[in-house]
């Protein structure tokens, strides 16, 4: 069956890195869920198979040792392609991680063990019956976060789906600057459509304003030099392993110039990276 929904079932020894793996897979575009109740598995499978929501094309489910067998047996369907990621770690390292984080082992919380060492031993025995060669088994004992990420990208990533993503945000300086921007670009030097009477009430989302901003020598020269920088920077960020970059483009009110430039950049890069577009202030007053 074509276009199957992909599900990665994440399980393994508590403390071996399920949370870290979920963060990486989420950055890769997976919809991640942790500890879905066993009673909801049937409804979940039915929903995933029938929905057209693109968020559920790639899913990562993280589950405990106690629930793993039922998840493994229930995640079946003609429209599903299921892979199991089993995380392991040496006992001494698990002990060290729990002591350093001061977190409680799930089996201690459920009164299934009396000491941390016993909890680790009991959990390992619970998994022993279900370990299979068909699983993607990953031992994280000596693995750095960067190595973990690279292993996951190599196994679960798709070459046509870049893991590096970019958000382009337009904003107006008079409303304050975005605090989460990695790069902030001031385009207030470009010709302002506000001073053209028939364009004042429009925004950079309207063709007339977009053309006004883009069809002048200042904008063309600016984009020439700016794209030389971003083409190089985005490529190097992706190579270095950065997951996401936020580029904020600002003009006076966030209505005209910044909106047009953000739209242009989104269209320029959307086929190269996973891109997002937001016009923060486009619906505010237009008296800038």
pLDDT in tens, 209-267: 999 999 999 999 999 999 999 999 999 988 877 778 999 999 999 999 999 999 999 99
pLDDT in tens, 18-55: 999 999 999 888 999 998 888 898 898 888 888 888 88
Q: How far apart are CA 226 and CA 237, in angstroms?
A: 16
Rg (CA), the chain: 25
- Nearest partner of 75 among 153, 4, 2, judged by Cα: 4
| Cα-based angle 234, 237, 238 (whole degrees, multiple of 5) | 85
Phi-psi domain of 190 (left: phi exceeds 0; alpha: psi -120 through 50; beta: other): beta
- Nearest partner of 74 among 47, 42, 46, judged by Cα: 42
- Pairing between β-strand 244-251 and β-strand 80-88 as defined by DSSP bridges: unpaired
Band the pLDDT of 288: cuts 50, 70, 90. very low
- Pairing between β-strand 165-172 and β-strand 274-279 as defined by DSSP bridges: parallel
Residue 287 pLDDT greater than 70, yes or no: no
What is the pLDDT, as a whole number, of residue 1? 41
Residues of the chain with CATH 3.40.50.300: 5-156
Indicate the fold that domain 5-156 takes in CATH. Answer: Rossmann fold (3.40.50)
What is the pLDDT, as a whole number, of residue 128? 84
């Amino acid at each position: 069956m074509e276009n199957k929904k992909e599900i990665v079932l994440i399980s393994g020894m508590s403390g071996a890195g399920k949370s870290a793996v979920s963060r990486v897979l989420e950055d890769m575009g997976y919809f991640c869920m942790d500890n879905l109740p066993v009673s909801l598995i049937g409804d979940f499978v039915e929903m995933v198979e029938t929905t057209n929501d693109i968020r559920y094309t790639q899913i990562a489910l993280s589950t405990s040792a106690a629930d793993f067998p039922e998840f493994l047996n229930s995640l079946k369907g003609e429209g599903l392609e299921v892979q199991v990621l089993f995380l392991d770690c040496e006992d001494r390292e698990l002990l060290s991680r729990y002591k350093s984080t001061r977190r409680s082992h799930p089996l201690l919380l459920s009164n299934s063990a009396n000491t941390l060492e016993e909890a680790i031993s009991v959990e390992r025995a619970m998994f022993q019956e279900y370990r299979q060669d068909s699983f993607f088994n990953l031992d994280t004992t000596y693995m750095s976060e960067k190595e973990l990420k690279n292993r996951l990208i190599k196994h679960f990533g798709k070459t046509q789906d870049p893991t590096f993503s970019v958000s382009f945000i337009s904003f107006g300086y008079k409303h304050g600057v975005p605090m989460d921007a990695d790069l902030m670009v001031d385009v207030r030097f470009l010709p302002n459509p506000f001073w053209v009477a028939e364009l004042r009430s429009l925004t950079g989302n309207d063709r007339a304003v977009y053309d006004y901003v883009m069809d002048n020598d200042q904008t063309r020269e600016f984009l020439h030099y700016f794209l030389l920088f971003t083409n190089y920077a985005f490529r190097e960020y992706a190579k270095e392993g950065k997951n996401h970059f936020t580029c904020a483009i600002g003009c006076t009110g966030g209505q005209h110039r910044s909106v047009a430039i953000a739209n242009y950049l989104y269209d320029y890069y959307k086929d190269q990276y996973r891109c997002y577009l937001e016009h923060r202030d486009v619906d505010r007053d237009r008296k800038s």
